[in-house]
Structure formats: structure tokens, C-alpha cells
Structure 1
Amino acid sequence: MKTRTIERTRLVPHTVDGHTEMVLDREKIEVPAPPRDWDHIVRTGVTVGAILLVTVSLVWTTTSIGGLLAMSVVAVVAYGAGVAFDASWIMCMGVEWLLRYDPARAAAAQKAGRFALAVSMGAVFAHGYLNGQLVVGVVGALVSALAKGGWTIAMRVHARPLDPRTQQWVAKRRADVDGQLAMIPVRRELQRGQAVIEAEQRSLAALADSGSVDPDESGQSADDPAADPEPPAAGPMTIKDAVRTALDSGIREPDRVLAYVRQVADANAKSDTVARYIRLAG
């Protein structure tokens, strides 16, 4: 039986001069070696082979289609556009892999990938045909087909098919989670909209409050009886006299009376005192 050496670490008591402490003890032991996992090795080999095929196909297709497009455009642009042909079906296969547990959505990626592969193969064949190398065009077009086939096989090796009931369970769970994820941006949008509405309401309230305060009458005519809604300051006076003057001038709001009293009589007049004089005058 094959064995392998491993290092094991454990805490053991160690005493020096009567003081015991737990210290690490390392020892090497022989344990049975597990059998070689050939399934994992083959699966890894298939995956690596598929990646190599896709890489070769991408380089070959880019070179062929880039040479075809370079007949009419700058080489840099032509070869850059050539990447898009194989990259399209490679991306579709990536999406197909991500949606492997959602066959309904993966079907669209499969169809798009086949269409992109056909276009890529046709472009490679056209390059060989226009250069008088028909066989090279056919064989070159098959490179992309072989790469896609190899990647499809690799995906099937890694796939874990689900039975119909489990597939429905996964679909419902995914729909529930996707709904919660979709509500995140929706809630943010609603919160932003509500914040805008509240800001607008505060602006309107501020405008309404500023409109209730007496405007500056500096530009109004002296003959206009409404030009000066508050009585003019007539020199120093008591709080009681200021309250009486304000009431005689038609000012009834306590806040406005208080403001007038503080203006002409006492800047530190209390609202309770002014309210008491208003009641007495009433």
C-alpha cells in the first residue's frame, strides 16, 4: 500500500522549572495515500484542451478575417474587428455556462452562439476563397467548429443535470432572489424621487413663508395707505405703549406685535409679557 508523509501539529504540555505550558509539537507521520483520481485528471485535461482549442481558433480566425478586412481598411482596424467574430460565440458559450441551470434562458445564448459561429466560419471560408485557396478556407473554417465542439463537450463534462422537480425548485428560488435583487434599484429610485418631492415641498413652504412677511416698501409710493402696514417708530416708549400702538394700527398677530415691541420699545421683551398686555388691551 502506498503511503505519504504528512506533518501533524498538536498542543502538548511542557514543564520547565515546575511551570507547565502548552506548546506546539510537530511530528511527521506516514498515512495511506489516496488512490489517484483519474476522473478529475481527465476532466481537467478536457477543460485545458478545450481552452487551448478556443485560443487557437481565436488566433486563427482573427488572422484570417483580419486579412480579409485589411483589403479595404487599415490593418489595425481590420484585425481588431476580426477578434469580434470568434469572441461573439465564445461569449455566448460563457453565458450558456452561467445559465446552465436555467434552460429557458440558456436557449437564447445557444442560438446566438450557433449563428455567430456560422458567420465566423463563413468569413474564414471567404478569405480562403478570395485568395484562391479553397481548401485552406474550408479547413480554416472547421477550426472554429472544432473549438466550439470541444468547449461544448467540456461544458457537458462539468454540467450537473437536474431532474424536472429540482429544476422547478431552483427556478422558483432564483425568481424569489432575483425579485429581491430587482427591488434594490427600484427602492433607491423611489427614495431619490421622494427626496426630490420633499425638497420641492420645503422650497414651496419657504416661499410661502417669505410671502407672508411684509415686503420691503422702499419702492412703494408714500401716498399708498397700504405701503406701511406697521406703525412707524415714534421714539422710545414702554412695552405697554408699544403694544397699544400696534393694536391701534391693526396688528393682531402676537408674533408681529412682539416684533414691533422689540423694535420700538425693548429688544429683549418677552413674549409672555407682550401676550399679557394684548389680553389686557382686548
Structure 2
Amino acid sequence: MKPRTRTELVPHTVDGKTRMVPVEIPVPAPPRDWDRAVLTGVTTIAALVVTASVIWSTASIGDLLTRVVIAPAAYGAAIVFDLVWIACMAVEWLSRYDEDSARLPRNAGHGALLVAMGAVAAHGWLAGYAVIGIVGAVVSGLAKGLWTVVLRHQTPQLDPRTREFLRQELADAGVTLAVMPVRRRVQRAQAMAEAERIALGPGPDADPDESGQGADGPDGEDAPSTSGPMTIKDAVRTALDSGISDPDRVLAYVRKVADANAKAETVATYIRRAKLAG
């Protein structure tokens, strides 16, 4: 092992003048973590066992299925038997902090394993080697059992209160994630409705001067805007998000909600930029 060092600044005096100079100081190596080394070795062994199990069961089940289908399809389907319980085992690991969530993938993995073992045993029985079929099926069971032991060793044992706390934390995070797309859909729907209303203009029976008053309020003050201030860029983006793609309709919408004197060239530029931005 290469010796470890760290750099420190130490005072060094020459001719009565002191400077801080870097010096390499050796650092003692930490003791070897044998627990981690053993766990790494066991995990490696488990991975090799699973690989051997997948090869064996795929070859066995694939040969069984070639009796009725072509070899590529047979072996492609055969590997599914092991991939299913391996994927369930991975999901079980991801749910290790929530026993309730881990129960479903664990049970599904056990079921998929039994199906794979049954298929391997059936191949041996049909080939006239029942004992070999049983032994081959046990290989998949040993691989799954070894991985179960490794995962259980690395799964923290949490008390019921801590598990409930973590469950509520995940529930709160899930609510936040669920609300985000709903808000986007609501805002998009509202923007589409507003853009459609403004683009179509008033109905045929609408009175352009319903109150009989001018643009000013009854006291001579300017009437407040119903849509609030909006820039040309924002108006273009709102129109595009609402499904209005015709440049003339976008221009009409911009002139209604943002700037009555907006130029067609300016609006066209913002449309191009919005489409490029995606």
C-alpha cells in the first residue's frame, strides 16, 4: 500500500525571516476493515452464484421450450424465468426501510423462483433425468437463498415507530410529487380557456359598451386590467402553451392582453425562440 501523506504549512526561518512552507507529513494508514472485506467477498460470491444459476436455468428451460418454438425465441423466453425473481429481489432491496412495501416483491420473487425451479425440474423429467432436473432446480433455490441472506444482513432493523416515521415522510414526498403534474394540468387548462376566449373575441350578442361608460371608471379613473400586466414574450408563450400556433391568432392574442401596438415581426421572433427552446 502506498504510504499516505498530507500537506501542512510549517514555519521555516532563513536569515532571520520566517515563511510558511508546505511540508509532506506521513499519515498512518487506518486498520483494515475486515468486516467490509468479508461482506464484499460474500456479495461477489452471491453474484457469481446467481450468474451460474441464470446460465443453467436458461439453458435448461430454453432446451425445454425448443420442443415447440425456434431456439432464439425459446432461450429469450427462458431467461425471463430468472430475471423476474432477480428483479423482484432488487425491488425488495429498494424497499428495505418499509417492511410493508417489501412484502409484495418478496412474495412475488418467491413465486417466480418456484415457477423457474418447476420448469427446470420438468425439463429433467421429460429428458429422462429426473434427478438431474431436481438438482438443477435446487441451484436456483440456492442462488435466491444466498442473496436473501446477504440482503437481510444489510437490511437495518428498525423499530415500529421509526418505520412509521419514514412511511409518513415518504407519503408527504409522494403527495408533493403527485400535486406537481396536477397543478401543471390545471394551469394549462386555464391558460387554454383564457387564450381561446380572448382569441375568439366577444360573442355576437355582446354589447361593446355594456355599462354605457367609457374606458374610465365612474369616477374618471382607469378601469383595472382583468388579466394583469403581461409582456409580449409571456403572452406569446401563453398562447403557444394553449395550443394557438397560427401567427395571426398569436398576434391578435398578444395585442389583446399585452400590447395593442405589438409588431408582427416582434411576435414572430418570440414564436421562433419559443419553438427553439422547446
Rg bigger for which structure?
1
Q: CA deviation at 1:182?
A: 1.5
Secondary structure class of the residue paired with 1:174: helix
Task: Say which of 7, 10, 20 aligns to 2:8.
Answer: 10
Which residue matches 1:27? 24
State the identity as a percent: 51
Secondary structure class of the residue paired with 1:43: helix
8 Å contact from structure 2 (residues 8, 25) kept in 1: no
User: Deviation digits for residues 157-178 of structure 1, max 9, x if unmatched?
Assistant: 1111101111111111111111
- Give the TM-score of the pair, scaled to structure 2: 0.67
Counterpart CA distance in 2 for 1:177 and 1:28 is 47
Which residue matches 1:151? 147
| Equivalences for residues 1-282 of structure 1 within 5 A | 5-12=3-10, 25-29=22-26, 31=28, 33-205=29-201, 208=203
Which residue matches 1:243? none
Counterpart CA distance in 1 for 2:145 and 2:23 is 51
- Give the TM-score of the pair, scaled to structure 1: 0.66
Q: CA deviation at 1:36?
A: 2.7
Counterpart CA distance in 1 for 2:207 and 2:70 is 71
The amino acid of 2:107's aligned partner reads: K
8 Å contact from structure 2 (residues 61, 78) kept in 1: yes
Counterpart CA distance in 2 for 1:4 and 1:203 is 73
Q: CA deviation at 1:5?
A: 3.1
The amino acid of 1:8's aligned partner reads: R
Q: CA deviation at 1:20?
A: 8.0
Counterpart CA distance in 1 for 2:15 and 2:179 is 67
- Structure 2 vs 1, CA of residues 26 and 127 (structure 1 numbering), >3 Å: closer, same or farther? farther
Q: Bigger shift: 7-16 or 195-204?
A: 7-16
- Structure 2 vs 1, CA of residues 188 and 18 (structure 1 numbering), >3 Å: closer, same or farther? farther
Q: CA deviation at 1:14?
A: 7.0
8 Å contact from structure 1 (residues 88, 113) kept in 2: yes
The amino acid of 2:53's aligned partner reads: S
Secondary structure class of the residue paired with 1:162: coil
Counterpart CA distance in 1 for 2:68 and 2:189 is 51
Counterpart CA distance in 2 for 1:142 and 1:58 is 12
Q: Bigger shift: 170-179 or 195-204?
A: 195-204
RMSD of Structure 2 on Structure 1 (CA): 3.1
The amino acid of 1:27's aligned partner reads: E
- Structure 2 vs 1, CA of residues 9 and 30 (structure 1 numbering), >3 Å: closer, same or farther? closer
User: Deviation digits for residues 256-282 of structure 1, max 9, x if unmatched?
Assistant: xxxxxxxxxxxxxxxxxxxxxxxxxxx
The amino acid of 2:112's aligned partner reads: A
Counterpart CA distance in 1 for 2:15 and 2:183 is 68
Counterpart CA distance in 1 for 2:182 and 2:11 is 60
Counterpart CA distance in 2 for 1:26 and 1:146 is 55
